[in-house]
């Protein structure tokens, strides 16, 4: 999949990087809707966690106060910190809420509607009430310039100075803050587009102009234009935030560099992030997946499905052998994004999903959500409709006094009261009615999640029995066992501090960026391999040069390549990861065989009679961070559970043992049913399952029948 690189300027590949030294103090930060999470590594006592209430108006305020708090908690000074890695959903929110811009778009003649036409599709074909996505660049801010290339690079039209003057004048009059330029075929022949960008920049001081091929030179004009437009749309906002953040933290005495996590599960320096904020938009969930993949390293579970249960939805991702699954077909808000990102997809209800009963008397969960505000009824923040979280409370899974370590008291009576009207509609009576509704709702929500999960696996041709579920986020561990049972997953692996996982992922994230070239070549054709090799070395050089500017924290780096390939005549490509052997010396046969194998896996057959085409090459540079030493769990004897709790299951209440998670050292075993509480989450173990603590502080949950060694 990847290859050590021994030709690069930055030195030999670091397959055995040094362990982190105690002198390194890293802080990971993840900004969520309710809390901003902090994880500090490198302190004498191991990892230090902290949660700070978020400040949505200016997220950097919570970052500042939380950073001060976590450094103090660790007994360190600000000057001891060597790196801050920060994840933010600011860019994503700006896109969803259309808070960026104003931005202009300049295209070849006849192509100004590239965003309007898009790919001509609606999200589905049965809902007539769907509307089109609100435009990022309204039609009157899209301008044609007489610049046109043919597919072979022939310049059909080249603008005159008067054309530049005219278009620049229109853009100035429109008052745009940024401009994206996208010419047809610039992905193969970027010079004319760069020239247009340059000429317009000279006439529009103070307006940032980006050329599509400079950001992401891949074929398909709509998707390429979108990358440039989305980037330009959020750039002013993000740059403003980054500089505010930098000055706030500098004022507190921080001298360490700041990195920003990226959608591909990596991180980049603040300057790179400011230039290409589009790379950061899906970074939050990606970091959690990175942390999961690393937390499972050293366990016997090599294939994971991660489960991040948030307020509005539950997200899953797959990892294999420590590597997340990537995709180049994802969406940001309403828009497709073709850059490679960690493949995270929603499978249904989150903790804030609302319960309701339809006119036919059938219980439903979601898709409406109470989100973080007003939130579940039990939060007492104005929510009146019962949610999934209220259900956990009503059946006794969550202790209302121990939520978030007791920092937030939950109102169980209010949750039960909110469930009662549904009970009447469903025909549940008696004192147990709220609990019966809650149990039914969790069954409905779980069935929906399980079927979505099964669908996702079916689409990939994967088999559920080969994966362990790793939950994180606040509610993930609470719901994980239910989902594993319904989805027929053999195991659940719960990491030590699941609720601050994205912040932990930020610390663990390597420095990463992807570089792309479009090629359009046919394997075996005259000159094809020469072009491919030339592109490979050009991209490799570009990648290592970029990395050299990303600071000195790195323990070495690796380069890897993927290509988009297809059989001649197909209009969709498949992504093919190159082996190290292919990276070092690619041959047509080797690449064709790699493609055949992927095609066989995805589509069930190979077509050796057809020629194989290669449309683009991507090179990823990964600057490896020294891994964080995660503390080993102490060996503790299994003691008796410290308490019990009344839990509703299958129509009746029974006492279930409640453990403190800290009490379970390496080797400890618990048989379900049981509840495990820790500061940031509650773990539920169902009857028929057993749990065992491993050496790294993870808890393995297995079906009782298969758990005997």
Partner 1 sequence: MDKVTLEILGRQVTAAAEGMGFTLQRTGRTLYVKEASDFGTALVGLDGRFFGYPRTIGVSHFLDLDCGPTLRAVPDLEDGDVIITNHPFLSEGLSTHLPDLNLIRPYFHEGRIVAYGWCFIHSADIGGRVPSSISPSNTDLFQEGLMIPPMKLVRRGEMNPDFLTLYRSNVRTPDQNMGDVRAQLAALHVGRLSVAEMIAQHGVDVFLEAQEALQDYADQKARAVFARIPDGEYHAWDYLDDDMVSTFPVRIRLTLRVNSGRFALDFSGTDPQVATAYNIPTLGRRHAWFTARLIGCVATHDPSIPMNAGVYRAVTAFAPAGSVVNAEPPAAVGVRQPTGRRIFDMMTAALLQGDRTLMAAASGGVSTPVVLAEEETAQGDRNVVVLEPMIGGMGAREGHDGVDGRDSGTSNLANNPIESIEAAAPVLVLHYGLREDSGGPGRWRGGAGLAFTFKVLRDGCTVLARGMERCRFPPWGAFGGRPGLPFRVILNHGLPGEQVIGKIDQLSVEAGDTVTILTPGAGGFGDPFVRDPEAVLRDVILRVVSAESAARDYGVVIREGAVDAEATEALRAARPPRDTAGIDYGEEREAYEAVFDDDAMARLNAALFALPRRQRGRARLRVMQAAVPDMPQAGHRPLVEVLADSGAARLRFEDALAALVRA
Contact with partner 1 (CB under 8 A): which of 16, 572, 652, 705?
A: 572
| Three-state DSSP state, 144 | strand
Q: Quick check: 342 binds partner 1 (CB under 8 A)?
A: no
C-beta closer to partner 1: residue 77 or 156: 156
Q: Does 117 bind partner 1 (CB under 8 A)?
A: yes
Question: Per CB under 8 A, does 139 bind partner 1?
Answer: yes
Which residue in the block uniquely carries the two structure tokens 């090599």? Answer: 302
Closest distance to partner 1 from the beta carbon of 87 (Å): 31
Report yes or no: 589 and 490 within 8 Å, Cβ to Cβ: no
Q: Is 288 exposed, middle or buried (0-12, 13-18, 19+ CB in 10 A)?
A: buried
- Alpha-carbon distances, residue 324 vs 53, 306, 509, 603 (angstroms): 30, 10, 12, 21
Closest separation between CB of residue 111 and partner 1, Å? 7
Least Å distance, CB 604 to partner 1, is 4
Min separation Cβ 590 and partner 1, Å: 25
| Interaction of residue 364 with partner 1, rule CB under 8 A | yes
Of 297, 602, 632, 635, which lies in the binding site for partner 1, with binding defined by CB under 8 A? 602
- Whole-number Å distance between alpha carbons of 70 and 25: 12
In whole angstroms, what is the distance from residue 439 CA to residue 347 CA? Answer: 20
Site for partner 1 in 411-430 (CB under 8 A): 426
One symbol per residue from 619 to 638: x for binding partner 1 (CB under 8 A), - otherwise; what is it? --------------------
* Residue 176 vs residues 59, 110, 209, 236: alpha-carbon distances, Å: 26, 22, 10, 11
Which listed residue (44, 45, 97, 131) binds partner 1 by CB under 8 A?
131
Asked if 219 interacts with partner 1 (CB under 8 A), we say yes
116 binds partner 1 (CB under 8 A): yes
Cα angle at 269 between 539 and 328, to 5 degrees?
A: 50
Q: Say which residue the tokens 């989805």 belong to.
A: 487
Number of residues in contact with partner 1 under rule CB under 8 A: 63
| Shortest reach from residue 565's CB to partner 1, in Å | 15
Radius of gyration over every alpha carbon of the chain, rounded to an integer in angstroms: 27
Distance CA 446, CA 314 (A): 11
| Matching residue, tokens 């898709």 | 367
By DSSP bridging, strand 652-660 and strand 643-649 are antiparallel
Nearer to partner 1, 13 or 348 (CB): 348
Of 123-131, 624-632, 640-648, 685-693, the segment contacting partner 1 by CB under 8 A is: 123-131
Pick the binder of partner 1 from 49, 222, 583, 595 (CB under 8 A): 222
User: What's the CA dihedral at 405, 409, 413, 415 to 10 degrees?
Assistant: -80
SS3 sequence, 606-663?
CCCCCCEEEEEEEEEEEEEECCCCCCCCCCCCCCCCCEEEEEEECCEEEEEEEEEHHH
Among 43, 454, 548, 574, binds partner 1 (CB under 8 A): 454
**Residue among 3 and 363 whose Cβ is closer to partner 1:** 363
Query: How far apart are CB 264 and partner 1 at their closest, in Å?
Result: 24
Told to check if 459 binds partner 1 by CB under 8 A, we report yes
Considering the complex, state which of residue 121 and residue 161 has its C-beta at the smaller distance from partner 1.
121
* Binding test (CB under 8 A) with partner 1, winner from 1, 7, 75, 140: 140
Q: Among the candidate windows 260-268, 557-565, 587-595, 596-604, which touches partner 1 by CB under 8 A? A: 596-604
Q: Residue 306's closest CA among 151, 457, 475, 468?
A: 468
Q: Where are the alpha helices (DSSP H) in 148-211?
A: 161-174, 191-203
* Residue 483 interacting with partner 1 (CB under 8 A): no
CB of residue 395 to partner 1, shortest distance in Å: 14
Tell which positions 488-547 bind partner 1, by CB under 8 A.
520
Q: Which of 461, 631, 634, 688 binds partner 1 (CB under 8 A)?
A: 461
- Report helix, strand or coil for 97: coil
- Among positions 44, 57, 128, 640, the unique one binding partner 1 when judged by CB under 8 A: 128
Query: Please, where are the H alpha helices in 34-160?
Result: 59-73, 90-96, 114-117
Prior bond to 97 cis, omega within 30?
no
Pick 16 or 652: Cβ nearer partner 1: 652
Hey, is 400 helix, strand or coil? coil
Under the binding rule (CB under 8 A), the answer on residue 220 touching partner 1 is yes
Q: Which is nearer to partner 1, 156 or 635 (CB)?
A: 156
> Smallest distance, Å, CB 367 to partner 1?
9
State how beta strands 468-472 and 303-309 pair: parallel
Q: Report which of 580, 581, 549, 517 is spatially closest to residue 10, judged by C-alpha positions.
A: 549
Measured in residues, the chain has a length of 709
Note whether 215 and 200 are within 8 A (CB).
no
Nearer to partner 1, 15 or 130 (CB): 130
β-strand pairing of 491-494 with 699-703 = antiparallel
Cα angle, residue 50 at apex, residues 49 and 52 outer, rounded to 5°: 160
The set of residues, in sequence order, having a beta carbon less than 8 Å from that of 202 and lying 6+ positions away, is none
User: In the window 257-276, what residues touch partner 1 (CB under 8 A)?
Assistant: none
d(CA 518, CA 153): 13
Interface stretch with partner 1, choices 1-9, 16-24, 116-124, 296-304 (CB under 8 A): 116-124
CB of 439 to partner 1, least distance (A): 9
Identify the CA nearest to 464 among candidates 446, 444, 486: 486
Helices (H), 395-432: 412-426
What are the backbone angles phi and psi of residue 406, rounded to the nearest 5°? 85, 5
Bridge pairing between strands 554-567 and 574-577: antiparallel
Which of these segments, 20-28, 87-95, 111-119, 170-178, binds partner 1 (CB under 8 A)?
A: 111-119
Cβ closest to partner 1, residue 464 vs residue 626:
464
The nearer residue to partner 1, 527 or 604, going by C-beta atoms, is: 604
Which residue stretch of 79-87, 119-127, 389-397, 587-595 sits at the interface with partner 1 (rule: CB under 8 A)?
119-127
Q: Which of positions 154-213 make contact with partner 1 (CB under 8 A)?
A: 156, 184-185, 187
652 is a contact residue toward partner 1 (CB under 8 A): no
Among candidates 217, 209, 231, 344, which has minimal Cα distance to 280? 231
Piece of 132-140, 246-254, 389-397, 642-650 that binds partner 1 (CB under 8 A) = 132-140
If you search the block for the tokens 């003057």, which residue do you land on?
165
- Tell the smallest beta-carbon distance from residue 190 to partner 1 (Å): 13
Minimum separation from the CB atom of position 116 to partner 1 (A): 6
Sites of contact with partner 1 (CB under 8 A): 109-113, 116-117, 119-132, 138-140, 150-151, 156, 184-185, 187, 219-223, 358-364, 426, 440, 443-444, 447-448, 451-452, 454-455, 458-459, 461, 520, 570-572, 602-605
């Amino acid at each position: 999949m990847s290859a050590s690189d021994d030709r690069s300027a930055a030195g030999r590949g670091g397959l055995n990087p040094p362990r982190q030294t105690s002198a390194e103090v890293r802080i990971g930060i993840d900004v969520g809707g309710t809390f901003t999470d902090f994880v500090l590594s490198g302190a004498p006592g191991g990892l230090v966690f902290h949660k700070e209430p978020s400040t949505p108006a200016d997220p950097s305020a919570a970052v500042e106060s939380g950073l001060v708090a976590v450094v103090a908690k660790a007994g360190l000074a600000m000057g001891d910190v060597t790196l801050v890695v920060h994840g933010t959903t600011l860019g994503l929110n700006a896109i969803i809420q259309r808070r960026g811009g104003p931005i202009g778009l300049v295209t070849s003649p006849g192509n100004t509607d590239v965003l309007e036409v898009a790919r001509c599709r609606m999200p589905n074909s049965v809902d007539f009430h769907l509307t089109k996505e609100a435009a990022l660049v309204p039609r009157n801010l899209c301008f044609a310039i007489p610049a046109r290339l043919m597919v072979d690079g022939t310049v059909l039209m080249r603008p005159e100075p008067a054309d530049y003057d005219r278009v620049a004048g229109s853009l100035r009059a429109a008052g745009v803050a940024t401009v994206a330029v996208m010419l047809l075929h610039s992905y193969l022949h970027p010079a004319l587009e760069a020239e247009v960008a340059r000429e317009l920049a000279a006439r529009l001081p103070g307006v940032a102009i980006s050329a599509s091929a400079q950001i992401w030179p891949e074929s398909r004009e709509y998707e390429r234009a979108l990358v440039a437009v989305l980037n330009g749309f959020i750039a002013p906002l993000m740059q403003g935030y980054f500089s505010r953040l930098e000055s706030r933290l500098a004022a507190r005495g921080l001298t360490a560099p700041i990195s920003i996590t990226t959608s591909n599960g990596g991180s980049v320096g603040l300057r790179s992030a400011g230039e290409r904020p589009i790379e950061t938009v899906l970074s939050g969930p990606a970091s959690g997946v990175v942390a999961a993949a690393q937390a499972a390293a050293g366990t016997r579970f090599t294939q994971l499905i991660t489960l991040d249960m948030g307020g509005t939805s539950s997200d899953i991702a797959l990892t294999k052998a420590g590597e997340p699954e990537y995709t180049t077909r994802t969406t940001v808000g309403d828009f497709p994004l073709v850059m490679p990102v960690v493949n995270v997809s929603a499978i249904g209800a989150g903790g804030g999903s609302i319960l309701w009963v339809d006119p036919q008397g059938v219980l439903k969960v979601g898709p409406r959500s109470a989100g973080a505000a007003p939130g579940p009824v039990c939060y007492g923040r104005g929510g009146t409709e019962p949610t999934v979280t209220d259900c956990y409370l009503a059946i006794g899974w969550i202790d209302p006094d121990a939520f978030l370590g007791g920092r937030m008291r939950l109102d169980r009576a209010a949750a039960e009261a909110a469930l009662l009207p549904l009970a009447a509609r469903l025909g549940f009576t008696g004192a147990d009615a709220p609990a019966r509704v809650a149990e039914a709702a969790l069954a409905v929500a779980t069935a929906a999640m399980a079927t979505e999960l099964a669908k996702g696996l079916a689409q990939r041709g994967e088999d559920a029995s080969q994966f362990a579920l790793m939950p994180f986020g606040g509610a993930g561990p609470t719901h994980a066992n239910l989902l594993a049972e319904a989805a027929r997953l053999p195991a659940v692996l719960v990491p030590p501090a699941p609720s601050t996982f994205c912040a932990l992922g930020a610390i663990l994230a390597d420095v990463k960026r992807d570089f792309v070239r479009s090629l359009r070549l046919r394997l075996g054709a005259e000159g094809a391999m020469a072009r491919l090799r030339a592109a490979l070395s050009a991209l490799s050089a570009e990648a290592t040069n970029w990395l050299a500017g990303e600071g000195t924290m790195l323990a070495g780096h690796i380069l890897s390549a993927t290509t988009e390939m297809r059989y001649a005549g197909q209009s969709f490509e498949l992504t093919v990861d190159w082996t190290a052997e292919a990276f070092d010396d690619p041959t047509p046969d080797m690449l064709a065989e790699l493609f055949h194998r992927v095609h066989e896996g995805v589509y069930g057959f190979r077509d050796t009679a057809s020629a194989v085409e290669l449309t683009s090459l991507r090179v990823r540079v990964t600057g490896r961070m020294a891994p964080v030493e995660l503390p080993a769990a102490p060996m503790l004897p299994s003691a008796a559970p410290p308490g019990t709790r009344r839990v509703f299951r299958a129509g009746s209440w029974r006492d279930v043992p409640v453990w403190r998670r800290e009490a379970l050292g390496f080797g400890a075993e618990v048989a379900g049913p049981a509840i495990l509480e820790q500061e940031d989450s509650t773990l539920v173990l169902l009857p028929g399952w057993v749990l065992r603590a491993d050496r790294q502080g993870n808890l393995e949950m297995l079906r009782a029948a298969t758990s005997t060694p």
